[in-house]
Each structure stands twice: as C-alpha cells, then as structure tokens.
C-alpha cells in the first residue's frame, strides 16, 4: 500500500474546485483550505448563510495573501435538473473543472431497519447516492479533460462496518463507494484520479445527530479532518479507486479493525 503526506497542502493555484456541502462541517473546511491553497472554489449547499460565511473567510484570506476565490451556488442536491445545469454552467463560464469534492451527505435516522420511514430512506439515497451519480455525470467530461483532474468522494467507515441501526446511511455509503470505484476504473487511462475518503470521526452537526450523548469537544475539529483530505487534490496523486483513511493517514482497501 502507498502512503503520502496529504497533510502538507498542495499548490492549487489556478485550479477550479467544485465542493458540495460547503456550508458547514468537513466540506466548509475543505473549501476554505483549497481556496487558501490558491483554488477558485465553487461552493454548493442549501444554506446561504453558511456559504456567505465561507465567502467572507475566503475574501479575508485573499486580502492577506492574494490567494483563493469563491463562487457560491445555493442548490438543493435533490434537484437533479439543477445538478444537470451545473456542469453546463461551469463549462460556459470557465470552460474547465479541475477538482470535484462530493462531500454533501445526510445521515437520515439512526434506527432499526424496520422503523425507518420510506421518505427518510429515500432522502438518504437521493442525497448520498443519486445526487453523487448525477453530479459525476454532469462534470465527467470536464474532469477528464483537465490536465490533472481530481475527484474526492466522501464515504464513511459505516460503508464497511454496517453497524446495527446505521442501515440506510451504511447502504448509501457502500453504494457511493462502488460508484466511485467504477468511475475510477472507467477513467484509469485518463489523467483523472478518483479516490474515496473515510474521514473518521469529526465534530460536526452530522456526528452530533448520530451520537447525541457524545462530548463534541473530544472529537477532532473538521478543519483537522479537512487538512487530512485536501492533499488528494494535488497534482502528485497517482492512486485512483482507493480509499484514503484520514485517521490512518494512508490508503486502505481493507476494512479497518475496530
């Protein structure tokens, strides 16, 4: 297996990066750190307040260092036609895309499978799986055409551990991993590199929903988690179709012991 220092921020000057779920949590910090590394970030989420906060931070950093820019895209990823339009809009405005971070996700509910409501199950599959496929389809030609295209798909240890009460979420992450690995195989003879991330535990709204009894202060801040991910967007990455385990700090195609 290979390892690399993804904690050292790559130079992303001139790179255009689409980051979903950029209004809070891990995606917010991936977007912020990619901008600090020089990228122009297209930040997608529903919550305009969170996107504007990100934009303020990126503008302040730009004023200090001259690096980074953001374009905000308020979009509900359940809006499949909206996702379809996004690829075309990026093509029209910039004529390229270098980086995709498919980070947005929902937990749904922690409950026995027999107690899960249909609309909750559908929502988890829609946002975590169908929207990811639709987004990949929307930007695939742009990413293949980039000189060093990079795609990063956020998964979870739940995809492999399949714990009691995590059924819908675990199923969605297993599905999105399979999708990403198929895409990696399809694109292996292009410059595009597609990798999956298991971010481990991070102090976010989703984690608090999953584990309400837990003291958030004991968990890594999402900025730390993001710092273990952004290196996958760097031009030196050669791996594709692998799972990057943030806690282990290496690619791992095996199930992490617990």
C-alpha span between 78 and 131 (Å, rounded): 7
Q: Which is nearer to ligand NDP, 107 or 143 (CB)?
A: 107
C-alpha span between 100 and 176 (Å, rounded): 14
| Site for ligand NDP, residues 109 to 148, rule: CB under 6 A | 127
C-alpha span between 24 and 146 (Å, rounded): 28
- Quote the least distance from Cβ 177 to ligand NDP, whole Å: 11
Instruction: Based on the shown chain and the rule CB under 6 A, indicate whether residue 153 belongs to the binding site for ligand NDP.
Output: no
Whether 169 is a known active-site residue: answer yes
Q: Which is nearer to ligand NDP, 146 or 175 (CB)?
A: 175
In this structure, what is the dihedral angle of CA atoms 184, 103, 119, 74, given to the nearest 10 degrees? -120
Pair of tokens at residue 243: 């799972």
Chain CA centroid to CA 56, Å? 21
Instruction: Based on the shown chain and the rule CB under 6 A, indicate whether residue 161 belongs to the binding site for ligand NDP.
Output: no
What binding mask, one character per residue, do residues 168-207 give for ligand NDP by CB under 6 A, x or -? Answer: -------------------------------x-xx-xxxx
240 in Cβ contact with 41 (< 8 Å): no
Catalytic residue among 28, 121, 166, 169: 169
Which positions touch ligand NDP (CB under 6 A)? Answer: 20-27, 45-47, 50, 76-78, 103-106, 127, 154, 156, 199, 201-202, 204-207, 222
């Amino acid at each position: 297996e290979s390892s690399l220092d993804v904690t050292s921020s790559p130079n992303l000057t001139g790179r255009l990066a689409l980051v979903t779920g950029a209004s809070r949590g891990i995606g917010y910090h991936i977007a912020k750190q990619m901008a600090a590394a020089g990228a122009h970030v297209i930040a997608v989420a529903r919550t305009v307040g969170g996107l504007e906060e990100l934009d303020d931070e990126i503008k302040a950093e730009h004023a200090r260092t001259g690096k980074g820019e953001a374009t905000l895209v308020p979009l509900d990823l359940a809006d499949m036609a909206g996702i379809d339009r996004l690829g075309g809009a990026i093509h029209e405005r910039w004529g390229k895309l270098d980086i995709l971070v498919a980070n947005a996700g929902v937990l749904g509910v922690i409950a026995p499978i027999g107690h899960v409501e249909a609309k909750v199950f559908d929502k988890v599959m829609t946002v975590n799986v169908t929207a990811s496929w639709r987004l990949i389809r929307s930007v695939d030609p742009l990413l293949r055409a980039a000189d060093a295209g990079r795609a990063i798909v956020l998964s979870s240890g739940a995809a492999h551990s399949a714990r009691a009460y995590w059924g819908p979420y675990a199923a969605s992450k297993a599905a999105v991993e399979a999708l990403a690995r198929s895409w990696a195989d399809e694109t292996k003879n292009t410059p595009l590199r597609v990798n999956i991330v298991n971010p481990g535990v991070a102090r976010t709204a989703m984690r608090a929903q999953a584990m309400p009894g837990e003291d958030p202060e004991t968990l890594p801040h999402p900025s730390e988690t993001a710092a273990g991910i952004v290196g996958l967007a760097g031009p030196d990455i050669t791996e594709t179709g692998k799972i990057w385990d943030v806690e282990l700090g290496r690619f791992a195609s095996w199930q992490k012991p617990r």
